[in-house]
């Protein structure tokens, strides 16, 4: 197979002496995209399968941990992988992360109880966190910044498509095969990616002594873990004012302070704080956080609207997201190519965030009777906006930092997007719940007290004796969904304002980076 064939006279090595041609790059890029697609897909693919998994494994009380354990470990691992790959070489660390992800996937499929599944999802997440950051860092290793936009646009498309496709594929596989296959399906694709990386990717490494910042890694894990649990549990499992959430918030502040103090003293910190002196890195991190919020807000609630208000199945609601995926794909690939052609990137976050503002404004007018055609047009606008800038932050960051910091800087930007996604889910979820309870206030159908937490069961109960009440309930949900997008507009405006501060630096060519590479390869 061409994918694995390796020329003895011209191995795929980026050592600064020559640039790889497009065909060589695409072999590696394809393998990287396969791995990243799997890791991103597993953030959402379990959502539609969870009810059946919980029933079969008798674990309804631990339901949410199946998703949370993956999110926690992948987010915590992301910046750690970036630093370790800078220290010891990208290829072997990346291959280790893929292997760990595949081992976790196989174990998840073999799980016999909910405790095992939660543990194995955590192992899967440890691998997934490395795949996220290192795939993008490897692009930085093999492609000069002046040509990087063309290829990173593909990764923006992969991330967006996987976020939408996850629930759809999860439902299809669970309905027609078994929920275990949502994990087993990773194995052949992951092995293919692993084999291609092993055969075709050869990266230079720096042979120097290193001091691993173990204390910094533990403090970072405590910081990220307490923050993510606060966002995941707050307002759902526990009230925001509960002892658990307040304790987690205090733990986050203390762990963050200790982490920052440690990183100022460590010989080789997990996250070099000097990176934040770089204005482009600083703005890119903020933009990445905000982009995670607005993208997740759109993707999370559109299927809910389709299912609850329009009565669509989980599969149909996923298919109805196709226009958003189309817009995201088109904009991500096109903007990447234009960035490489023009050698400038600043305009794309500005235009993209304006597109998101327009998209949110359009969706703030949604109603029960909005036609599928109109919804499709609005989704295309939103997809075009998101796709225009979601990959730019990584490109700008990699262009602005030294090669020895490339892995760390890339992982921080990816980590910020993950935190933004969790933050967006928490904030917009809280808004939806609050607005639902407001619009449902006073509705009482034959003794069924309706609120945001029992909406689905309330619709079923009310429909049996008071069908006319169902319309009122669905109308309340439609109004609440409209409110979510209305309140999301300020966050999109914040992203637009942040994009104005992103400096437009000239994209470097391959020769500009050659001096940072060493002849040793892995």
Maximum mean pLDDT: which of 97-106, 422-431, 446-455: 97-106
| DSSP-assigned letter for residue 355 | H
Say which residue, 212 or 368, is predicted with more confidence: 368
pLDDT at 54: 75
Q: Mean per-residue pLDDT for 158-167? A: 74
Express each pLDDT in 222-275 by its tens digit: 888 888 888 777 777 788 888 888 999 999 999 999 989 988 888 778 888 888
pLDDT at 17 over 50: no
Domain 22-212+268-516: give its CATH code: 1.20.1250.20
Going by pLDDT thresholds of 50, 70 and 90, the confidence category of residue 1 is very low
Say which residue, 20 or 263, is predicted with more confidence: 263
Q: Mean per-residue pLDDT for 486-496? A: 92
Three-class DSSP labels, 150-166: HHHHHHHHHHHHHHHHH
Total residue length of the chain: 522
Say which residue, 363 or 16, is predicted with more confidence: 363
pLDDT at 355: 93
Concatenating the DSSP letter of every residue in 385-408 gives: HHHHHTTHHHHHHHHHS-GGGHHH
pLDDT at 34: 84
Express each pLDDT in 40-75 by its tens digit: 787 777 776 776 787 787 766 666 677 778 888 888
pLDDT at 495: 92
Strand 444-445 relative to strand 448-449, pairing: antiparallel
Q: Any idea where the domains of the chain sit in the sequence?
A: 22-212+268-516, 213-267
Mean pLDDT, the chain, rounded, equals 78
Residue among 438, 474, 161 nearest 295 (CA): 161
Residue among 109, 164, 473, 470 nearest 315 (CA): 164
427-226-436 Cα angle (round to 5): 20
């Amino acid at each position: 197979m061409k994918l694995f064939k390796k020329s003895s006279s011209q191995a795929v090595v980026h050592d600064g002496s020559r640039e790889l041609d497009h065909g060589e790059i695409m072999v590696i890029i394809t393998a990287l995209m396969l791995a990243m697609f799997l890791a991103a897909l597993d953030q959402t693919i379990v959502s539609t399968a969870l009810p059946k998994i919980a029933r079969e494994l008798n674990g309804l009380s631990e339901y949410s941990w199946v998703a949370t354990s993956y999110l926690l470990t992948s987010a915590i691992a992301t910046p750690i992988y970036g630093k370790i790959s800078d220290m010891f070489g990208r290829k072997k660390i990346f291959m280790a992360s893929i292997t760990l992800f595949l081992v976790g996937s196989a174990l998840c499929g073999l799980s016999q109880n909910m405790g095992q599944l939660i543990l194995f999802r955590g192992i899967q997440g440890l691998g997934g966190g490395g795949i996220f950051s290192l795939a993008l860092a490897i692009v930085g290793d093999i492609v000069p910044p002046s040509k990087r936009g063309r290829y990173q646009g593909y990764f923006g498309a992969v991330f967006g498509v996987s976020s939408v496709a996850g629930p759809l594929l999860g439902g299809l596989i669970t309905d027609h095969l078994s929920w275990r296959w949502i994990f087993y399906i990773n194995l052949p694709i992951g092995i293919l990616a692993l084999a291609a990386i092993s055969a075709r990717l050869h990266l230079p490494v720096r042979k120097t002594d290193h001091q691993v910042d173990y204390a910094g890694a533990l403090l970072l894990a405590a910081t990220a873990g307490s923050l993510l649990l606060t966002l995941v549990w707050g307002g759902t499992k526990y009230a925001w004012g509960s002892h658990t959430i307040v304790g987690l918030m205090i733990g986050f502040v203390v762990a963050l302070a200790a982490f920052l103090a440690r990183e100022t003293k460590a010989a080789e910190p997990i996250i070099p704080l000097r990176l934040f002196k770089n204005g482009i890195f600083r703005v890119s991190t903020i933009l990445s956080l905000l982009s995670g919020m607005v993208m997740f807000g759109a993707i999370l609630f559109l299927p809910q609207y389709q299912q609850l208000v329009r009565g669509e199945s989980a599969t149909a609601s996923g298919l109805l997201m196709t226009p958003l995926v189309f817009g995201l794909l088109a904009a991500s690939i096109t903007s990447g190519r234009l960035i490489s052609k023009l050698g400038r990137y600043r305009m794309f976050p500005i235009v993209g965030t304006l597109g998101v503002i327009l998209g949110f404004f359009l969706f703030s007018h949604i109603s029960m009777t909005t036609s599928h055609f109109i919804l499709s047009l609005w989704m295309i606008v939103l997809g075009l906006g998101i796709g225009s800038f979601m990959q730019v932050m990584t490109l700008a960051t990699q262009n602005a930092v030294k090669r020895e910091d490339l892995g760390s800087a890339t992982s921080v930007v990816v980590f910020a997007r993950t935190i933004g996604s969790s933050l967006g889910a928490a904030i917009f979820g809280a808004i939806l719940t609050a607005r639902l309870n407001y619009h449902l206030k006073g509705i009482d159908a034959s003794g069924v007290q309706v609120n945001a937490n029992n909406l689905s069961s309330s619709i079923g109960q009310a429909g049996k004796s008071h069908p006319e009440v169902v319309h009122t309930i669905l109308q309340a949900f439609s109004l609440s969904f409209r409110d979510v997008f209305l309140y999301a507009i300020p966050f999109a405006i914040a992203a637009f304002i942040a994009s104005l501060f992103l400096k437009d630096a000239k994209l470097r060519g391959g020769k500009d980076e050659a001096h940072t590479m060493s002849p040793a390869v892995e």
